[in-house]
Amino acid sequence: MSDENLGSVQYGRPSQVPFGSLTGGAPQQHQVRHRQLNNPSGTAASAAAAAGVPAASSSRPRATSDYGSIRASALHQARLRIESDVDCVSYAPDVTVEGTERQRLVDNSGEWYFESQHAVSGEELLSAKFESLDYDTCENSLWAAEDQSRTVWDLRRIELCRWLVHLLIGVVTGAIAFFIDVCIEQLAKVKYRYMKSMLDRCIFHDCLIYALLLWIAFNFIFVLIASCLTVFGEPVAAGSGIPQIKCFLNGIQVPRVVRLRTLVCKVLGVLFSVVGGLAVGKEGPMIHSGSVVGAGLSQGRAASFKFDLGIFEYFRTDAEKRDFVSGGAAAGVAAAFGAPVGGVLFALEEGASFWNQGLTWRIFFSSMTSSFTLAFLLGFYRGIPNDLSNPGLISFGKFDKLDYDLLHLAIFACMGVVGGLSGALFNTLNEHLTKFRHRYVTSKLGQLTEAVLVASITAVTSFVLIYTVRSCQPLGSDQMEYPVQMYCPDGKFSSMAALLFQTPEAAVRSLLHDPVGTYSVTGLIAFCLPYLLIATWTYGVMVPSGLFIPSLLIGAAWGRGVGIGLNLLFPTHFTDPGKFALIGAAAQLGGIVRMTISLSVILIEATGNVLFGLPIMVVLMVAKWVGDYFGTGIYDMHIELASVPLLPWEPPSRSAAVSAQAVMSSPVTCLYRQERVSRIVEILRAEPHNGFPVVSGDLGPGTFGTFEGLVTRNQLICLLDMRLFDDGDPNFHLENPVSLSDFRRVYPRFPSVRQLQLSEADLMKSVDLGRYMNPAPYMVLHTCSLARIFRLVRGLGLRHLVVIDHRNQVVGMVTRKDLARFRATHTGDLKELQFTG
């Protein structure tokens, strides 16, 4: 900035400025345009006092004595203008806009006002808890300087670090999966062996009630541990974590979702909830765990433990972190299902919006490494070290022969319809339960009680099932580890007990691969219905709980039932019920979660059979179409219930006539290039917003200052924290060089404005925002349609989009919340087509 501006920071200015002063080459004077919406007294001094900072006027006589009266009148005018903003968007009536264009603006203003009235509640609803992430790069002068200072070798080093981090993500995620696998196996072995011997003894001694009590006790204790870890340890570790990761990748900062503490609680919690006999799987939590690993390793530190390696500092931005979280999620899927390609597709289908080839390769690398690590460790554990092709990778056992014809395909499609219906039922029940839970089960004690209640009821139901459904099958070439005889004759065992005396994952394997005749149709139906209800209840209880395995189990049960039934009707056909179990499993899972591509690939990889891909795809498609008729998938449903401003893939239909003005937030608080510290502090305290446009030029009726750039709250806080107060001194930045590293160091936990320790003298100084602002953020004209804005924000992962008028003056801002809010208030009229989901 030129020297003449030193210290001439002003708080207002007459609105009528001769045109010549802008074009005549005179040095610009910089003002603050400060919106005192909550300060009806209308003077800057009282505003400053109200906001808790010393009033500028009292401590800086020169500024006030020079411009005091002008300031007061300018502020008064500004207030008037702000109020008129609300009435007519952004064009004060005395501004000339061309013919038709103006007509349209005036026509729209009424509607906009209506919008803004509705918006208040929507905003509060949506913004209470969730901040947005910013996946855009702030391309300020520091960034340019850093970019210029890099050699080709620096770039190579960063690239190498990226690959290295992805490698580490794969290794660590694979190791975690191994840890969970082995712990569950060992704990389940203890539990079921003890239970079996108890049951076997009690059948003869008529002490079945003690066996039941023992079972309840086992479940109670394990689930209590899991629930304590979640409720007292980290509540965000509850559930599968997939909705949270989906939100994170979409650009929403779900608090504490990728912290180390969350990881620990999730991993230990899922162990105990699976062993506790709940209708849950470890797959969803594995995906969440992988994501935390990705976020943690890429930052090279763990804030929960005040531990900082100081490496990978370059990756401390939202955009870089997102990439590693995608890699972690993919690695999680790869480890959970032995499906590396499925992992990549999961990360893409559920998360990423901008497809980047290089990133996808790295995600793929994480997935591969994770699969490899798990296979390698499992090989050692199972005593066949060095054999990487062991079936550890294949979660659901390998099918040797799966043939099908057109008739099969037709039946499978019908099963897809059943899966869609049953999935919709599951989701609807779960939705009501979740609403109930949000309202009534809010205390920690209540949550713990619910968890152990579910655990006990699961045990009781299982026991009743085993006791009542007396389907006996001969002991044969089956896979049961603990065949329970119950009331069956010698040499036979209770197939129901076999199904319930193992973890749900093992039960799925049994249903897919047990020989013909192991289960009866009645037994499967008797198992299926209560299990569906229990699983519905379980998803949402305060324990880490995956949804994939219970869904697959329910589906496999009724699918196998269908297969057996068909075989009874046509004894020469349909001899392989396992095939139908697989299709049923796919149908049920597809009906609940509504994924198609990644789920197809996951199932293909998890069963090791490529040939059966086509029927699986058909079933998933049908299940999705049918289910979408009744509502969204379960993850989206939970995201909606949590009022998260998730942006869908496509802009709302028929949004062409909705313009930026109807969507944007207005008025916007703007800053000047050379800005006084006390003003910045005041604004940061008074305003919840994150992005502030930087403007120059004139204020007054109908003029909003020329848009120059955008500065974010975090940048401002860093500036203040580092005391980069130059007071217009051109040599200041030479003497106090800062780099982007200084900003990244505090990422992502920037101090709040109230934590800043600024002296009175500091507050009187000024900052040159020009160096730190983004000089060319994305922006649109106010005539832009909602569809276009949506595509821009969604496609590039923006947090702020500045709306300008035809004079390049800031008239509004569009953020993720504006888009989400707009959608929320328009559900009737502009609701999205559910046909494609």
Residues 350-379 binding a second copy (CB under 8 A) are 352-358, 360-362, 364-365, 368, 371-372, 375-376
Residues 677-706 binding a second copy (CB under 8 A) are 696, 706
Provide the minimum distance between the beta carbon of 627 and a second copy in the complex, in angstroms, as a whole number.
14
Using CB under 8 A as the binding rule, whether residue 394 contacts a second copy is answered as yes
Return the biggest CA–CA distance within the chain: 105
- Beta strand 706-712 with 766-768: parallel, antiparallel or unpaired? unpaired
Mask 326-355, x = binds a second copy (CB under 8 A)? --------------xx--xx--xx--xxxx
Using CB under 8 A as the binding rule, whether residue 95 contacts a second copy is answered as yes
Residues 6+ apart with CB under 8 A from 582: 396, 399, 402, 512, 556, 559, 603, 607, 612, 616
Contact with a second copy (CB under 8 A) among 148, 442, 477, 755: 148
Residue 386's φ and ψ, nearest 5 degrees, are 75, -5
Among residues 18 and 40, whose Cβ is nearest to a second copy? 18
Using CB under 8 A as the binding rule, whether residue 138 contacts a second copy is answered as no
3-class SS string, 263-331: HHHHHHHHHHHHHCCCCCECHHHHHHHHHHHHHHHHHCEEHHHCEECCCCHHHCCHHHHHHHHHHHHHH
| Helices (H), ranges, 480-633 | 495-500, 504-513, 521-538, 548-569, 577-593, 597-607, 613-630
Size of the site for a second copy (CB under 8 A): 122
Provide the minimum distance between the beta carbon of 391 and a second copy in the complex, in angstroms, as a whole number.
8
What six digits make up the tokens of 702?
Answer: 């109908």
| Candidate segments 289-297, 463-471, 490-498, 604-612, binder of a second copy by CB under 8 A | 604-612
| Candidate segments 182-190, 222-230, 448-456, 776-784, binder of a second copy by CB under 8 A | 776-784
Among residues 299 and 598, whose Cβ is nearest to a second copy? 598
Mask 464-503, x = binds a second copy (CB under 8 A)? ----------------------------------------
Residue 177's nearest CA partner among 22, 367, 344 is 367
Using CB under 8 A as the binding rule, whether residue 665 contacts a second copy is answered as no
Using CB under 8 A as the binding rule, whether residue 827 contacts a second copy is answered as no
Any bridge partners for residue 546, and if so which? 281
Task: Say if residues 275 and 188 touch (Cβ distance below 8 Å).
Answer: yes
Mask 573-602, x = binds a second copy (CB under 8 A)? -----------------------xx--xx-
Contact with a second copy (CB under 8 A) among 59, 73, 84, 808: 808
Contact with a second copy (CB under 8 A) among 37, 80, 516, 611: 611
Residue 33's φ and ψ, nearest 5 degrees, are -105, 105
Rg (CA), the chain: 31
Bond prior to 748 in cis (omega within 30° of 0): yes
Any bridge partners for residue 554, and if so which? none
Contact with a second copy (CB under 8 A) among 199, 681, 780, 793: 780
Distance CA 719, CA 768 (A): 10
Using CB under 8 A as the binding rule, whether residue 609 contacts a second copy is answered as yes
Q: Say how many C-beta atoms besides its own lie within 10 A of residue 820's C-beta.
A: 24
Among residues 403 and 735, whose Cβ is nearest to a second copy? 403
Contact with a second copy (CB under 8 A) among 240, 250, 785, 815: 785
Among residues 296 and 770, whose Cβ is nearest to a second copy? 770
Distance CA 10, CA 69 (A): 12
Contact with a second copy (CB under 8 A) among 126, 330, 393, 564: 393
| Helices (H), ranges, 749-785 | 760-763
Using CB under 8 A as the binding rule, whether residue 781 contacts a second copy is answered as yes
Among residues 257 and 779, whose Cβ is nearest to a second copy? 779
Using CB under 8 A as the binding rule, whether residue 118 contacts a second copy is answered as no
| Candidate segments 193-201, 429-437, 581-589, 783-791, binder of a second copy by CB under 8 A | 783-791
Residues 644-663 binding a second copy (CB under 8 A) are 649-650, 653-657, 660
Contact with a second copy (CB under 8 A) among 113, 179, 210, 404: 404
Answer left, alpha or beta for residue 705, where phi above 0 means left and psi between -120 and 50 means alpha: left
Residues 75-94 binding a second copy (CB under 8 A) are 94
Contact with a second copy (CB under 8 A) among 120, 217, 309, 796: 796
Using CB under 8 A as the binding rule, whether residue 224 contacts a second copy is answered as no
Among residues 642 and 781, whose Cβ is nearest to a second copy? 781
Distance CA 554, CA 592 (A): 11
Provide the minimum distance between the beta carbon of 629 and a second copy in the complex, in angstroms, as a whole number.
12
Residues 715-774 binding a second copy (CB under 8 A) are 770
Using CB under 8 A as the binding rule, whether residue 153 contacts a second copy is answered as no
Using CB under 8 A as the binding rule, whether residue 8 contacts a second copy is answered as no
Contact with a second copy (CB under 8 A) among 38, 87, 110, 156: 156
Among residues 210 and 630, whose Cβ is nearest to a second copy? 630
Answer left, alpha or beta for residue 270, where phi above 0 means left and psi between -120 and 50 means alpha: alpha
Burial of 250 (0-12, 13-18, 19+ CB in 10 A): buried
Provide the minimum distance between the beta carbon of 1 and a second copy in the complex, in angstroms, as a whole number.
6
Q: Say how many C-beta atoms besides its own lie within 10 A of residue 833's C-beta.
A: 11
Residue 598's φ and ψ, nearest 5 degrees, are -65, -35
Task: Say if residues 740 and 143 touch (Cβ distance below 8 Å).
Answer: yes
Contact with a second copy (CB under 8 A) among 388, 425, 460, 641: 388
Among residues 476 and 608, whose Cβ is nearest to a second copy? 608
Residue 13's nearest CA partner among 90, 74, 60, 59 is 74
Distance CA 527, CA 532 (A): 9
Provide the minimum distance between the beta carbon of 138 and a second copy in the complex, in angstroms, as a whole number.
11
Among residues 389 and 752, whose Cβ is nearest to a second copy? 389
Using CB under 8 A as the binding rule, whether residue 621 contacts a second copy is answered as yes
Strand-by-strand arrangement of the 706-712 sheet: 671-672, 691-696, 706-712
